[in-house]
Structure formats: C-alpha cells, structure tokens
C-alpha cells in the first residue's frame, strides 16, 4: 500500500484483523525499513493479540542513501505526523486507538510525535530507543510510555534513564536481562513482544465492537 503525504508517497504494510482492538504504527530506526525482521516479529505477536499493525518506510530509497537524513529527527517526525494524519483520513482506521512502537532513532520520532499530538496517541513503546534525542519535548508527552532496553546495553540504559526522569506521563522502564542493543539473544525479542503487548493491552485499546450472532 501507499501512504499519500503532501510531499511524498511512502510504502507501507498494513495488517488489519476483522475486529482490531487498536492500531500500532511501527517507527523504524536509522538504516532500517518496514522490512525490519525485529519489528515484524513484534508486529506478528501483536496481531495475535488482536491489534492492527502498520509498518512503513519513513524515507524514500534515495533519501535513505543520505546518512544525515537517517538521523534527521525533525524530518522523521514530520513523516510520522503526516502518516498519523493519513490514518485519521482512512475510514477503516480512523476510529482505532492509535499507538506507536519506535526503535532506535524511530523512538525519538515517536515521542516527538506523541508530544505534538497529545491525547491523539494512546500509548508509546520504545525498543532500544534514543528518547534522549528529544529530551526537551518529553515533559509534553501525555501518552503512557514504556521504555524497553537490553540489560547489556549500558550506554543506552543510561540515556533511557535520563529520558525516563524527564517524562511526566504514566511510564515504565523495562530492562531485559542479558540483552544487547538488537535483542538478538535467545528469548530477548520474545520478551520485548510480551512487554509491548501487555503495555498496549493496558493503555492502547478501545472498546471492541460486539460480535454479530447468527
């Protein structure tokens, strides 16, 4: 599918169950894309819990060749905000609680967008994220926010603790023991999916439409 923004079209992959509990938009990190195997693993786990998921590219193929664009948090945030606006214009998605799952630099864009949209974002989850990159914006975030960090990712733990202190919204910092930045250790990514699913079930769901009976 194509996400039509005023200045660009972005490719995306939408998975929509029959009775979605909410929508989780994945915001990938620098050098990644909607094809991220880690994000797709988490998306599949969330789909089993009844969530719709959207994975999309924040940059065009040409833009992604530019190292500066990959780390341009303002640009990534604008693309995410544009995508949120597009979602609200789609009849099948407009009424769903909107949640964000950000990884690495994508977590910074997710939180910057949450600060802008206020209660328009139901909940945010950051995986191995860099929320410190938007530290001045964090006190404005009202969405319940979960920061997930690997227990062996020492520097990122410190950066997330600084971000956690700045957040004023309902928040948790979850450290996955023994996991490094990419959560490649056995069971680490499964734990991320479990934590994210629990968080979105607690904060990011709406009232499920009643099922019709024959």
Q: Could you report the per-residue pLDDT of 14-33, keeping only the tens digit for each?
A: 999 999 999 999 998 776 66
pLDDT at 211: 39
* Residue 56 is assigned to a structural domain of this protein: yes
Q: Residue 60 and residue 189: Cα distance in Å, rounded?
A: 28
DSSP 3-state of 36: coil
* Residue 55 is assigned to a structural domain of this protein: yes
* Residue 210 is assigned to a structural domain of this protein: no
Range of the domain at 6: 2-203
Output the domain CATH number for residue 144: 3.40.50.1820
Return the bridge partners of 148, or none.
127, 174
- 20, 204 contact by CB (below 8 A): no
* Residue 214 is assigned to a structural domain of this protein: no
* Residue 12 is assigned to a structural domain of this protein: yes
pLDDT at 62: 81
Neighbouring residues of 70: CB distance < 8 A, sequence distance ≥ 6: 30, 31, 59, 64, 105
- pLDDT, averaged across the chain: 91
Total number of domains constituting the chain: 1
Please name which of 99, 105, 107 lies closest in space to residue 167, comparing C-alpha atoms: 107
Top-confidence residue, 53 or 65: 53
| Prediction pTM value | 0.92
Q: For residue 176, give both structure tokens.
A: 């996955």
Top-confidence residue, 86 or 213: 86
pLDDT digits (tens, 9 = 90+) for 73-99: 999 999 999 999 999 999 999 999 999
pLDDT digits (tens, 9 = 90+) for 147-166: 999 999 999 999 999 999 99
DSSP 3-state of 171: strand
* Residue 209 is assigned to a structural domain of this protein: no
In this prediction, residue 13 has a pLDDT band, given cuts at 50, 70 and 90, of: very high
């Amino acid at each position: 599918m194509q996400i039509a923004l005023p200045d660009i079209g972005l490719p995306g992959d939408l998975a929509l169950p029959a009775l979605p509990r909410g929508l989780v938009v994945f915001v990938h990190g620098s050098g990644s894309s909607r094809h991220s195997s880690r994000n797709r693993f988490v998306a599949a786990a969330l789909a089993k819990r009844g969530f719709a998921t959207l994975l999309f590219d924040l940059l065009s193929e040409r833009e992604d060749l530019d190292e500066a664009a990959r780390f341009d948090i303002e640009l990534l945030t604008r693309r995410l905000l544009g995508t949120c606006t597009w979602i609200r214009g789609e009849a099948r998605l407009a009424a769903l609680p909107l949640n964000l799952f950000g990884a690495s630099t994508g977590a910074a864009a997710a939180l910057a967008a949450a600060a802008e949209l206020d209660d328009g974002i139901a909940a945010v989850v950051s995986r191995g994220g860099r929320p410190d990159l938007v530290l001045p914006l964090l006190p404005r975030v009202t969405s319940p926010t979960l920061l997930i960090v690997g227990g062996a990712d020492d520097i990122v733990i410190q950066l997330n603790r600084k971000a956690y202190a700045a957040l004023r919204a309902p928040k948790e910092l979850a450290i996955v023991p023994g996991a490094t930045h990419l959560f490649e250790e056995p069971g680490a990514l499964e734990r991320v999916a479990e934590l994210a699913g629990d968080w979105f079930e607690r904060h990011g769901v709406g009232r499920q439409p009643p099922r019709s009976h024959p």
